[in-house]
Structure 1
Amino acid sequence: MSKTEVRIDDADDKPVVVSEEEFAGLKRTLAGIERHLFVIAAAGFTLYHIVVLNLFPQEALLFRATHVAWAAVLGFALYRPFAAARTDRIPWYDWILIVLSILCCAYIYWELDGLLFRAGALPDPLDIWVGLVGTLIVLEFSRRTAGLALPIIAGLFILYVFIGPWLPGVLNHRGFEWGRFFAYIYSDLGIFGTTTEASSNFIVLFVAFGAFLQVSKVGDYFNDLALSLFGHLRGGPAKATIASGVLFGAISGSSVANVAASGAITIPMMRRVGYDRATAGAVEATSSTGGQITPPILGAGAFLMAEITGIAYSEIAYAAIIPCVLFYVACFAHVELHARLHSLHGLPRSELPPLLGLLKKAYLFAPLVIMVWLLVSGYSAFRAGSLAIVSAIVVSWLDRQNAMGPKRALEALNMAARDSLQLISVCAAAGIIVGVIALTGIGGRFAQLLLQLAGENVLLAMLFTMVVALILGMGMPTTAAYAIGAAVLAPGLQRLGVAPLVAHMFIFYFAVVSAITPPVALASFAAAAIARADPWKTAFISVKMGLAVFIVPFMFFYSPLLLGQGTLVQILPVLATALIGVILLACATEGWFGRPIGWALRAPLLAAAILLIVPEGITDLIGLAIAAATFLFARMTRGVAPA
């Protein structure tokens, strides 16, 4: 299992081992010839995608089937089925699964023309059996790499196909013969549909881009730069953590992986300058979670959203800019106010990386700049990702110590394949759910149910959607939670008049923020393990710091200006008042407004913050008036005893 050992400076602490997997992966560490075989297989997997997408396009169904089958082969080799299984070699039963994965893909290759002609409507007997075996392989692949929640949910949807005729009301459908179903679901109408299209066309390439940046030590450079810029300030290590979250989040799509990678450095530094354990863990967890809403990549969600909605990827990335800015400004405000309340200082400059030396390596930003420029210029996402990978290799040659030769390139290709497996498995399993929704029509009926529950009250529908998206995100990775939410919830919101971009961004944001939301706050729990803090306390502090993310999605529903949908003259005033609002929100929750304040002044300050975040002129004026009155009262009374 990929692990990071962390030693806190406190004398009573021992090394902490934290998995970088978002869900409890049972990884193998192969030895001998099997290790070399699957290093080559993993590197070949990544290289295959780069070559096919840029040079030798394949028929879509064949490409996606190869994509899933090859990933499943790697998954069964590199992940154990249960904790007691051997870690150093592949047992016979996993070799059987590997062979079956290859045979399912080979069948699609041999029968491609016939499968495209039949399209799941008039299946041959062998179509049915291959579909059944292939579906079971996807479910097991997903279970090993992403946990039980998603396979169980997918299994319930499959069960629903067969028991639907006996269910009442909105759940009733006419039913489907089992053979036709499995031929249907193991096609581009199900497993190889839009979700797998996103993972095969985009996700692998951008994970590879992140892997090449990490192997060339660009990720370390981002952390060092953030520490050099902010480490000496009041509460400096926490501010550096947030800054590194912005930078590192651009190349990593997992909140827990971000925590494990950067928390090893940032949490001990925060502890050193006086942050308590829970707050240090919460700062890291919240910042790392924000990486998934940071343009241009937004984890893997932006690619999936583009495939599902048909909205251009560049438009989605652009729309995420203002919410991302609001989130990180709120985080900075929280750590600044916490440092003021507790009289925390920064680190001595003598202990920080020299800024001048780091600025001389500013060329390491070139791959990110090139990728963003290519996307804005209208290049396809996979072409931009591929050229960004090439630029990362070229840029690494400017630093002799970290220059990438064939050996390190092989390491990056191998890392990219391994890091992609969970995303590929959840996209394939989510394809089962999306396929069932389309086949049975339950999505449309669920939309009707949402309309009935909400009536004409759109806010009630949004609150219901928020709760469902949070629950989904607690049980599975963000990508799968968003995919299911997009299939089940988005149509209902759109029927209520919510614009597609707003509806999908709303669902995506709550799927992301579930990583810090109790009772299953995986990013917060991972950070708490590193900090040796109480996990529940860490999670609740994380929610407090990320409170803006719970509010902003409602605000961009009321005004798409917060998604950049307007002119600059229209956007700037809304952005300015929203920024003031999230800062006041931090003041209210931290208990500092020029001086420590208690709940008597926090309540009106909280109201002022929400009024300012609401993008309406009258609410902005009322919010500013309440904030000004609160500030004057605090000055005149020298504050209220802090809570």
Structure 2
Amino acid sequence: MTEPNNQDNEHLIADGVDEEPIEHNRRLFEGRGLSFITIAAAIYAAFHMLALNGVSLSAMTGGLVNLDFLPAFPLETWNFRIVHVAGALAIGFLWYSANKFVDEPTGQTPLLGYLSYVLLVPAFVAVGTAISFAFEISNGAMWNGIDARIKFNETWVFGAPLMAATVGGIVLSWFNKTGRNRYSPPDFVLTVCGLAVAIYLITIYGTLMRNSTGTPFAPIGISIAAISGTLLIMELTRRVAGLALVIIATIFLVYVFVGEFLPGFLQSPAITWQRFFSQVYTDAGILGPTTAVSSTYIILFIIFAAFLQASKVGDYFVNFAFSVAGRARGGPAKVAIFASGLMGMINGTSAGNVVATGSLTIPLMKKVGYHKKTAGAIEAAASTGGQIMPPIMGAGAFIMAEITGIPYTDIAIAAVIPAILYFVSIYFMVDFEAAKLGMRGMKEDELPRFNTMVKQVYLFLPIIILIVALFLGYSVIRAGTLATVAAVVVSWLTPNRVGVRSVAKAFELAGGMSIQIIAVCACAGIIVGVIALTGVGARFSNLLLGLAEASQLLALIFAMLIAILLGMGMPTTAAYAVAASVVAPGLIELGIEPLTAHFFVFYFAVVSAITPPVALASYAAAGISGANPMETSVASFKIGIAAFIVPFMFFYNSAILMDGTYLQIAQALVTAVAGVFLLSAGVQGWFLGRNAVWFLRIALVIAALFMISGGIVTDLIGVGMAAAIWFVQRVLKPKPGATFRTGSAD
């Protein structure tokens, strides 16, 4: 393939879209420090790729070293997840500081540094004791929670040093200040503590003790290790994802021990700390569905995304979008829809997608005439939509498949029409806004040449291979691996060839990118564990059933509000995992099909990123646009309004989820698209080339709701109302009292 010449390149707009944004507390190492963290992250990501594809540890070393004699290998499922979390903790603590770095570098606090080195002693004692337990067990020692000697050793020789190092390390990390290019001593302590937890749990779960969790026979060391692991996970989550999820997890943990004193459906049975924590670090909690997905599908697709970044495919996506849609009125906004949808489906977080593409599209939207809050809102809504865009759908689809047992391909197919409706709605909202403001598109000499972009359309090949492989029946892991290999091969047709160094860099990127999502999934696992072990999910289901006796619609609205509330301030993956544990079982109890119930919850968990008052995607966009965060979140809520209606369509018309005949599905698609067109016209106040008077706007919204509901009678009513509105608008031509403009660009 001929590479584009310099003349073709001079109008390219996107450059550096694939670059990872640097968080305010991420360390930027140099020299040996950089080499160490780079190698660690690369090994961590490569290990997952090899393990997921069934490559043994002996094969990883080319047969030179046989590691299969170790009790942890070959890795059994629980052990694999424990190593997965422990690796993320180690890399995460070393890479992310406990505090925000300031412009003026501060020197390390000597006293706190010395105290940290002192805490390394009990941390290593815990590691050594865990290893000694492994030798005792391998020599035939009977391990249980009743033997006095074992109980003493687990409590005072392993547990006490581990807790002292964990709590001390976390507290010292909050106060210890180091330069951005230096490791922090307390974080070494936390890394060793994470290692001690992993070694102990792998050792103990390798015996019959796994079956004793939650009983008096469970060794107390499991509970102590789980407390330490929980604290480490919550601290890392605070560093990489903020306080929102940590606060929610803390509330749930407190609920475990105060639930017996609460009234009504919130009351839970008394649970001792030993029983709870001996179970929470199992597949009933931290090692459950969320970590199962993050340790397999999510990290695999993060590696895929990292290889796409290495070959600069993200730049191509955005430039291609500009060449296609840039000339349309309000062009950069339509580019944002296209580019953010493409980037968002492999990005994993709405806010991260906003930062990646919004830094380019938001300034251009302001330049062509959008108000700064509207520019930010459009990017936030489009980036959020990327999380519901098949085939990858961020990461939520994989968790849905894990929880429901429904094949991933069925979920991806069911997501097609809802995704179309969401993005078509945003397109109409953007187009009507541009029409109201009298905007034009960008000039031809400002845009990438379409002919040049078409010559590189082969860069879509990895995603096409992924889709084809999935629908040919390949496993998700094998399809993702093939797509990753395809990304490397395709890069050799571009100037950004992926060679040996680039492969290592891609694995390093993947290791770093995975830290946030792994921490978030593990922290969400804590909440899922609380829900499962206290039974609050079942009691919530009974509450929904009670509401449904009065009104099924009222029960759905209540479920919607709870899903949004649980998702506020949380990354998409965690928001869905928590809401699925609380809300989805109640909807299924109402008689709703599991796929429909989980899609209902999933959509509202996703749109919590643009729902005031806490809207992570909107706040990220406001930071780029310079607008007020709350105004931006309100505007993004308005632009994404269809996403709040589409889930109710699942309930009233299952054809929206591809459940029906071809005719039923086609009718559902056509009438729903017409409905979101009328809805967008009513919300924006623009219909048939002119502003709509207030009563026509109300009529448009009502007609839209009739069209969206999916029945023959309601569709006819909607068509009739639309025809009447067209007659009034075209023939009677009522003059609106206001132009409904949102303002000009700042």
Give TM-score scaled by structure 2 length. 0.81
Which residue does 1:63 correspond to in 2? 80
- Does residue 82 of structure 1 match 2:125? no
- Is this contact kept in 1: 2:377–2:635, CA < 8 A? yes
Q: 1:606 and 1:168, CA in 2 relative to 1: closer, same or farther beyond 3 A?
A: closer
Which residue does 1:626 correspond to in 2? 721
- Does residue 427 of structure 1 match 2:521? yes
Which residue does 1:315 correspond to in 2? 410
How does 1:78-117 map onto structure 2 within 5 Å?
78-83=95-100, 85-86=177-178, 87-114=180-207, 115-117=209-211
1:485 to 579, 596, 613: 579
Which residue does 1:348 correspond to in 2? 443
How does 1:188-587 map onto structure 2 within 5 Å?
188-399=283-494, 401-587=495-681
Which residue does 1:172 correspond to in 2? 267
Mapped to 1, the partners of 2:202 and 2:630 lie a distance apart of: 50
State the one-letter code of the partner of 1:59.
E
Moved more, 612-621 or 516-525: 516-525
Mapped to 1, the partners of 2:40 and 2:52 lie a distance apart of: 18
The alignment yields a C-alpha RMSD, in angstroms, of 1.8
- Is this contact kept in 1: 2:346–2:393, CA < 8 A? no
Moved more, 51-60 or 603-612: 51-60
> C-alpha displacement at 1:616, in angstroms?
1.0
Which residue does 1:5 correspond to in 2? none
Mapped to 2, the partners of 1:162 and 1:501 lie a distance apart of: 33
Which residue does 2:121 correspond to in 1? none
Mapped to 2, the partners of 1:592 and 1:147 lie a distance apart of: 40
Q: 1:621 and 1:49, CA in 2 relative to 1: closer, same or farther beyond 3 A?
A: same
Mapped to 1, the partners of 2:429 and 2:268 lie a distance apart of: 51
- Is this contact kept in 2: 1:466–1:507, CA < 8 A? yes
State the one-letter code of the partner of 1:63.
F
- Is this contact kept in 2: 1:289–1:512, CA < 8 A? yes
State the one-letter code of the partner of 1:36.
S
Which residue does 1:11 correspond to in 2? none
- Report the secondary structure of 2:686's partner residue: coil
- Report the secondary structure of 1:475's partner residue: coil
Which residue does 1:37 correspond to in 2? 36
State the one-letter code of the partner of 1:81.
A
> C-alpha displacement at 1:111, in angstroms?
3.0
> C-alpha displacement at 1:335, in angstroms?
1.8
State the one-letter code of the partner of 1:110.
T
> C-alpha displacement at 1:507, in angstroms?
0.9
Mapped to 2, the partners of 1:328 and 1:173 lie a distance apart of: 43
- Is this contact kept in 2: 1:366–1:391, CA < 8 A? yes
Q: 1:294 and 1:90, CA in 2 relative to 1: closer, same or farther beyond 3 A?
A: same
> C-alpha displacement at 1:152, in angstroms?
2.4
Moved more, 295-304 or 378-387: 378-387
- Report the secondary structure of 1:38's partner residue: helix
Q: 1:112 and 1:535, CA in 2 relative to 1: closer, same or farther beyond 3 A?
A: closer
State the one-letter code of the partner of 1:38.
I
Mapped to 2, the partners of 1:147 and 1:414 lie a distance apart of: 23
How does 1:596-611 map onto structure 2 within 5 Å?
596-611=691-706
Which residue does 1:6 correspond to in 2? none
Q: 1:117 and 1:454, CA in 2 relative to 1: closer, same or farther beyond 3 A?
A: closer
- For structure 2, the 5+ residue unaligned runs are 1-18, 57-73, 102-176, 741-746
> C-alpha displacement at 1:332, in angstroms?
1.3
- Is this contact kept in 2: 1:64–1:196, CA < 8 A? yes
- Report the secondary structure of 1:111's partner residue: helix
Q: 1:612 and 1:395, CA in 2 relative to 1: closer, same or farther beyond 3 A?
A: same
Mapped to 1, the partners of 2:567 and 2:517 lie a distance apart of: 14
- Does residue 640 of structure 1 match 2:639? no
Mapped to 1, the partners of 2:362 and 2:674 lie a distance apart of: 28
Mapped to 1, the partners of 2:413 and 2:590 lie a distance apart of: 25
Mapped to 2, the partners of 1:351 and 1:215 lie a distance apart of: 26
Deviations 1:551-578 (A, max 9, x none): 0101111111111111211100111010
- Does residue 151 of structure 1 match 2:246? yes
State the one-letter code of the partner of 1:362.
V
Higher Rg: 2
Mapped to 2, the partners of 1:103 and 1:34 lie a distance apart of: 23
Mapped to 1, the partners of 2:521 and 2:192 lie a distance apart of: 22
Moved more, 481-490 or 155-164: 155-164
Aligned residues: 623
- Is this contact kept in 2: 1:582–1:609, CA < 8 A? yes
State the one-letter code of the partner of 1:534.
N
Q: 1:349 and 1:311, CA in 2 relative to 1: closer, same or farther beyond 3 A?
A: same
- Is this contact kept in 1: 2:201–2:222, CA < 8 A? no
Mapped to 2, the partners of 1:97 and 1:69 lie a distance apart of: 11
Deviations 1:253-287 (A, max 9, x none): 21111111111221222222222222222221111
- Is this contact kept in 2: 1:142–1:429, CA < 8 A? yes
Give TM-score scaled by structure 1 length. 0.94
State the one-letter code of the partner of 2:533.
L
> C-alpha displacement at 1:104, in angstroms?
1.2
In percent, how many aligned pairs have the same letter? 48
Mapped to 1, the partners of 2:453 and 2:724 lie a distance apart of: 45
- Is this contact kept in 2: 1:19–1:260, CA < 8 A? no
> C-alpha displacement at 1:419, in angstroms?
1.5
> C-alpha displacement at 1:100, in angstroms?
0.7
- Is this contact kept in 2: 1:601–1:640, CA < 8 A? no
Mapped to 2, the partners of 1:151 and 1:342 lie a distance apart of: 43
- Is this contact kept in 1: 2:20–2:356, CA < 8 A? no
Which residue does 1:3 correspond to in 2? none
Mapped to 2, the partners of 1:153 and 1:593 lie a distance apart of: 44
